[in-house]
């Protein structure tokens, strides 16, 4: 496997604690119920129950067939399943509203490290490991080292159900950009020579955006890539200089991808799944090129399944069963149908995928590029959730609020 670094301890505890103390001092509605909810014991439903999955990561593109399969195979547990989606920054607002009202209707939350961090900062999640380890798989049988690094970020309050080496890479039109930069310095020179033609989406709502920002401390040689507050001096200086040549930061990856596909942007950071899906779905030219950095650092990414505090014992029982089922190779292999090249279960492989998924991989998955690319460079865990939240805030304060400045 490529090299890897250990995940770092969560930061920002003092901020989270002060928020919670403030709520307690005001006698926040639902606070007592939430505290009591942390001790819930799963109980098998006496009759099927309705389940709601809240997706804050675009995860359902790959995982909905897995959930649907579980429902079909367990009519004794689930009477109906509903799917809801929300932008990552809005997920906690929905969950906290339910918890404050003392009526939690969401059974499982799916999100990336950003959603996880926001939920942890508000003490909104049930512990899954080790509290309910007897109802869940042994993760040593599911995860290899890179996947385990991502799992560590959850502090036992989430389970990885989607994994990717992710990126970042640079996407370009080979007819327009004939000399793609492969270092931060070369990228800065390119952006200066082509003002307004390079951009990345706002990191708090974009996988490629946060991947691009998180790889810079490694590429620039910052003192501590895990510490955006005190260890990113070179990165913040670089982003500030790059900012002078950026016209705007799209509010999401979707908008950035549309602008790139329309030719408004000529060079953008991307990740594996978006490269494949945008070309396959026609949003980008089939001839779009992707380029690694000379000193490639893959910022791994993934999604977590989480259970909010306040669910009923019956809902917790079903949630644990669904999480366990989704981690099986038989379910995880379905992720390949959505353009994934990696899954949360390390024992799966593309040759186990459906014929259509394998055909799509041959046509859109760059089989002559990605397998070799994954073996190059170093695999790095993303920022710990609390650090990621701090990075978002610092980016908005220093860069996003001063676009073009």
Contact 322, 132 (CB under 8 A): no
Determine phi and psi for 220, rounding to 5 degrees: -90, -5
In this structure, the answer to whether residues 258 and 248 fall within a common structural domain is: yes
Which structure tokens are listed for 243?
């900012």
Which structure tokens are listed for 236?
């913040």
- How high does pLDDT run on average in the chain? 90
In this structure, the answer to whether residues 179 and 270 fall within a common structural domain is: yes
| Alpha-carbon Rg for the chain in angstroms | 21
In this structure, the answer to whether residues 239 and 323 fall within a common structural domain is: no
In this structure, the answer to whether residues 230 and 84 fall within a common structural domain is: no
pLDDT of 94 reads 97
- Per-residue pLDDT averaged across 157-161, rounded? 98
Whether this prediction's pTM lies above 0.85 is answered by: no
Strand partners of residue 4: 379
Model confidence band, residue 376 (pLDDT cutoffs 50, 70, 90): confident
Per the structure, how many domains does the chain have?
Answer: 2
In this structure, the answer to whether residues 12 and 161 fall within a common structural domain is: yes
State which H helix or E strand residue 297 sits in: strand 297-306
DSSP β-ladder status, 378-380 and 297-306: parallel
Residue-range definition of the domain harbouring residue 39: 3-165+301-364
Query: Is the predicted pLDDT of residue 47 greater than 70, yes or no?
Result: yes
In this structure, the answer to whether residues 122 and 203 fall within a common structural domain is: no
> Residue 227 maps to which CATH number?
3.40.190.10
In this structure, the answer to whether residues 18 and 131 fall within a common structural domain is: yes
In this structure, the answer to whether residues 271 and 292 fall within a common structural domain is: yes
Model confidence band, residue 25 (pLDDT cutoffs 50, 70, 90): very low
Look at 61 and 177; give whichever has higher pLDDT.
Answer: 177
In this structure, the answer to whether residues 10 and 85 fall within a common structural domain is: yes
Query: Is the predicted pLDDT of residue 137 greater than 50, yes or no?
Result: yes
pLDDT of 286 reads 97
- Per-residue pLDDT averaged across 124-130, rounded? 98
Model confidence band, residue 271 (pLDDT cutoffs 50, 70, 90): very high
Model confidence band, residue 88 (pLDDT cutoffs 50, 70, 90): confident
The C-alpha torsion from 183 through 188 and 192 to 198, rounded to 10°, is 80
Give, in order, the Cα–Cα distances in Å from 337 to each of 63, 332, 383: 10, 10, 28
Query: Is the predicted pLDDT of residue 143 greater than 60, yes or no?
Result: yes
């Amino acid at each position: 496997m490529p090299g890897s670094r250990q995940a770092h301890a969560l930061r920002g505890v003092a901020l989270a604690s002060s928020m919670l103390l403030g709520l307690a001092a005001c006698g926040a509605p639902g606070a007592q119920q939430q505290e009591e909810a942390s001790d819930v014991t799963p109980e098998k439903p006496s009759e099927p129950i309705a389940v709601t999955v809240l997706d804050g990561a675009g995860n359902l593109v790959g995982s909905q067939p897995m959930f649907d399969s579980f429902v079909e195979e367990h009519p004794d547990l689930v009477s109906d399943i509903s799917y809801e989606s929300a932008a990552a920054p809005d997920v906690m607002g929905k969950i906290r509203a339910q918890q404050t009202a003392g009526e939690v209707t969401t059974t499982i939350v799916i999100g990336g490290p950003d959603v996880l961090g926001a939920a942890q900062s508000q003490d909104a999640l049930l512990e899954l490991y080790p509290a309910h380890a007897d109802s869940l798989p042994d993760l040593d049988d599911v995860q290899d080292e890179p996947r385990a690094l991502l799992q560590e970020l959850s502090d036992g309050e989430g389970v990885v159900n989607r994994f990717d080496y992710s990126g970042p890479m640079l996407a370009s039109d080979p007819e327009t950009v004939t000399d793609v930069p492969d270092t931060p310095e070369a990228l800065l020179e390119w952006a200066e020579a082509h003002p307004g033609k390079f951009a990345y989406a706002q990191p708090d709502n974009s996988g490629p955006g946060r991947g691009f920002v998180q790889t810079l401390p490694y590429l620039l040689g910052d003192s501590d890539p895990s510490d955006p507050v005190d260890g990113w001096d070179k990165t913040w200086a670089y982003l500030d200089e790059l900012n002078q040549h950026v016209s705007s930061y799209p509010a999401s990856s979707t908008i950035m991808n549309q602008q790139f596909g329309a030719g408004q942007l000529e060079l953008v950071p991307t990740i594996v799944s978006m490269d494949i899906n945008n070309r396959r779905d026609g949003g980008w030219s089939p001839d779009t090129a992707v380029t690694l950095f000379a000193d490639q650092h893959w910022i791994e990414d993934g999604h977590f399944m989480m259970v909010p505090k306040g669910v009923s014992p019956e809902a917790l029982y079903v949630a644990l069963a669904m999480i366990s089922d989704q981690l099986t190779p038989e379910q995880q292999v379905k992720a390949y149908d959505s353009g994934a090249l990696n899954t949360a279960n390390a024992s799966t492989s593309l040759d186990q995928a459906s014929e259509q998924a394998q055909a799509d991989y041959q046509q859109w998955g760059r089989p002559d590029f990605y397998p070799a690319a994954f073996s190059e460079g170093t695999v790095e865990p993303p920022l710990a959730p609390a650090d990621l939240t701090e990075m978002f805030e610092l980016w908005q304060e220093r860069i996003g609020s001063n676009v073009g400045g």
